[in-house]
Chains A and B, each alone.
Chain A
């Protein structure tokens, strides 16, 4: 039998106050950070209400429900989760205070209090749905202003611009020391990614979808060393030496599979028989030489197209690397899926899945291709 527990209003208030006390210290521009450690040993710092609340392991189902509401709210709006919890806590407190002031009748204590509280809550909801909009429009909106998305890098005289909004947001998330720097960096990024014909919404959406592939984390340097780099950074080093020649533009091909095909998969059986005088002895050596010859022909096809960069999603064998080095091509292996999809999106080519058929539509042209040293990694 599942244990039942009656929920009194003061218990509800206790639970929400506990949640409130967690995020209270990081609210506002003078707020501090919350440090949390995962069970994997990973340590994270955050001021974002959503991150803090979703990182807690909560036993109480009511608390979990509140955190779920916060999460849903934050997914839609992106900000304001701490405000949500603080408002919720103070509303509950006021309702509780008002409900306990009512004189108690001959009915048991609990039900009157609960009924009054419920009644108050219903009335507040009604107010919020019907009359709050007009109030906001009359009293709050005249104090606000419109922010235009057209020009990201402009700071107008009265400071009513997109940049002010960004600076305050970063102030609450990153603190006083870094907010200006990151605001400038983000505006620069947005202005570089502007597509001429579409509105700014397209570029922001694109950046949002592809952000994991567009940024690199470098450890060991101070924060002010963050900057933008032209082009796409692929987070893998060249497996073979980079081409030193100056021939531009470079041509690249994306491979989804292995260049040197594995002949036998588990389940295949290769039978070697002893031949008689008429037919030749088929030796096992022939099979391995066949794989090598097929690799050679693939490399020859690529050379005929003038391809010099190979981007592969899987790890290639050492024979492939040696053959590519001899032919003067450079290979990048184990490129992650997001980066490949970003590369395909930006260059408009299709990847090669079957090595025997390489056509011009698989070849992309690059303006430059070189290795980059970021921190300790290339």
Chain B
């Protein structure tokens, strides 16, 4: 029963960023997201008090959707990051932590908000300009002739989600499988418009991860009783998108009065059997329907040696059409034209544990493949499925921009060093263009760099210290009990694996002052390959989204909340 309640007036807040309540909430959100960032992150379990499924995750898309706040600024940031993730599916946590750090640093440095907004925008264009340059020190060109870099990229994405609980050989296997599936969906012969194929993912619970595999063609669920006669090419396939269950739903909503002696069911069944006879005459061996098939028709067709598959579902219709070039038939009464039949090269049965599946091999080159994903329990399997979808999306993005950025926090420290150096050099001209004083410009640039570095430091969660290399500006984490004298003898690699050892290089702790320097690019003759890579397009866009959202939040001076 609904009650009529008088509408209460709106709640107004003046200058929300000055209120401690809002600042506390933003700080809390930042700590929450910081602790879920990176491969050593802490997992989060999301409960709903009313009921519903319990989700364990560290993915930004799931976490952010689970956070609901009454504070409109938090919803604004959340909406903006979710939009980015839905478009690029990676670097969501990076964008969120960077954005919140920018807002926090802005509160600390005490500059006027308008000045900060302008300087942030200027520094963002500086960063994106540097990243788009050919000689950028943190960019790695992806070589499509060898699969090594693609596998490294896939592995970085997969290992950044610790919920999947994958051991070393398992994550290597899954990244190989993911890259294989991606390469299968890229068509070989290029027609006018290149259209990428699809990977259909089939999850299987209870098996070891190493049993995951990719197959070209489609895998379909089959009913138990399948008298399998070995069939060979070329096989014709009839695909129906209308319901063959014997109900005529297109007639409308009116009433039908049936007089005694007229049997509508048998009339409809006769029509269906006519259809079956025509199909048999055309030597169709595979009969597939999106909806339900009448059991008498099924029995009739099976009796005559046709494999019948019903209840395919709408999600599998599109890949099946792409695989076999069939045209789905939606009418029951017209004769089926021979061009509407699809072609399948071979049909075989595959067994996965207790599940039996029918494998359809394509007639020619096709871009449709099926991936079987196995894992020990449901939670890890769901996360693995999400991660594989993300990996596919990230690999597809590399088709447009064949480069990647160094991972492990090295890109962030590199960019921070570059921005510090550049801002010291062009202080006078930038401050006159932006209409602020030189000190203000330097303070704002310092806040920007500190936010970037705090994102890099949030990668380590076990109480280790972060350092920066003073020659190439790479990021390194060391246990915090290492003292100054031992710094020279350290040989651990940096976050991305390219810079080793401390012998000839100088290092400094990340949250102390160091002299601004121009980060030198690494020698191209280095035999080392980076072991952690990040997607270029996703990260550049994440950078842009974070700065623009931070600017938007800094620009908000008044909040009106409707509490009805």
- Interface residue ranges, A against B (CB under 8 Å): 21-22, 25-26, 30-39, 41, 43, 45, 52, 55-59, 175-177, 219-223, 244, 260, 262-274, 281, 283-285, 287-289, 291-293, 296, 317-319, 321-323, 325-326, 375-376
Contact = CB atoms under 8 A, between A and B. Distances in A.
A316 B559 CA distance: 45
Contacts of A264: 251-256
A21 B121 CA distance: 29
A57 B6 CA distance: 11
A375 B337 CA distance: 38
B262 A274 contact: yes
Interface string B245-261: 00010111111111111
B441 to A, nearest CB: 16
Contacts of B264: 272, 283-284
Among B72, B337, B339, the most chain A Cβ lie within 10 Å of the Cβ of B72
Given A34-B556, A176-B114, A284-B268, A219 B83 contact: yes
A177 B551 contact: yes
Given A177-B121, A292-B333, 20 more contacts: A22-B560, A31-B557, A35-B76, A36-B560, A37-B75, A56-B9, A175-B117, A221-B541, A222-B544, A244-B193, A262-B251, A268-B254, A284-B264, A284-B267, A284-B268, A291-B251, A292-B332, A318-B241, A319-B331, A326-B340
In the A-B complex, list the 7 residue pairs whose CB atoms are closest, starting with the nearest: A264-B254, A32-B557, A220-B87, A264-B252, A274-B261, A25-B557, A322-B330
Contacts of A265: 252-254
A66 B402 CA distance: 59
B436 to A, nearest CB: 12
Contacts of A288: 248, 250-251, 332-333
Given A36-B560, A262-B251, A267-B254, A176 B76 contact: no
B329 A322 contact: yes
B328 A322 contact: yes
Contact of B7 (A30, A57, A268, A318): A57
A105 B255 CA distance: 86
Contact of A270 (B87, B114, B193, B257): B257
Contacts of B432: none
A244 B192 contact: yes
B259 A317 contact: no
A272 B258 contact: yes
Nearest to A322: B330
Interface string B162-197: 000000000000000000000000000000110000
Contacts of A32: 113, 555-558
Contact of B73 (A30, A35, A283, A317): A35
B120 to A, nearest CB: 9
B437 interface: no
B330 A272 contact: no
A210 to B, nearest CB: 27
A43 B75 contact: yes
Interface stretch (B10-18, B25-33, B202-210, B218-226): B10-18
B490 interface: no
B552 interface: yes
B62 to A, nearest CB: 18
Contacts of A293: 333-334
Most buried by B among A58, A265, A284: A284
B561 interface: yes
B440 interface: no
A222 B193 CA distance: 27
Contacts of A35: 16, 72-73, 76, 556, 558-560
A254 to B, nearest CB: 23
Tell which of B334, B563, B564 has the most Cβ of chain A within 10 Å. B334
Nearest to B254: A264
B86 interface: yes
B295 interface: no
Nearest to A295: B331
B126 interface: no
Interface string B231-275: 000000000011000001011111111111110100110110000
A25 B15 contact: yes
Interface string B425-462: 00000000000000000000000000000000000000
Nearest to B73: A35
A224 B555 CA distance: 18
Contacts of A45: 76, 552, 556
B104 interface: no
B241 A322 contact: yes
A260 B248 CA distance: 14
A167 to B, nearest CB: 16
A44 B551 CA distance: 15
Given A32-B557, A38-B562, A176 B118 contact: yes
Interface in B100-125: 113-114, 117-118, 121
Given A33-B557, A35-B76, A269-B256, A321 B250 contact: no
B471 interface: no
| B87, B252, B327, B564 pick with most chain A CB within 10 angstroms | B252
B512 interface: no
B9 A58 contact: yes
Contacts of B521: none
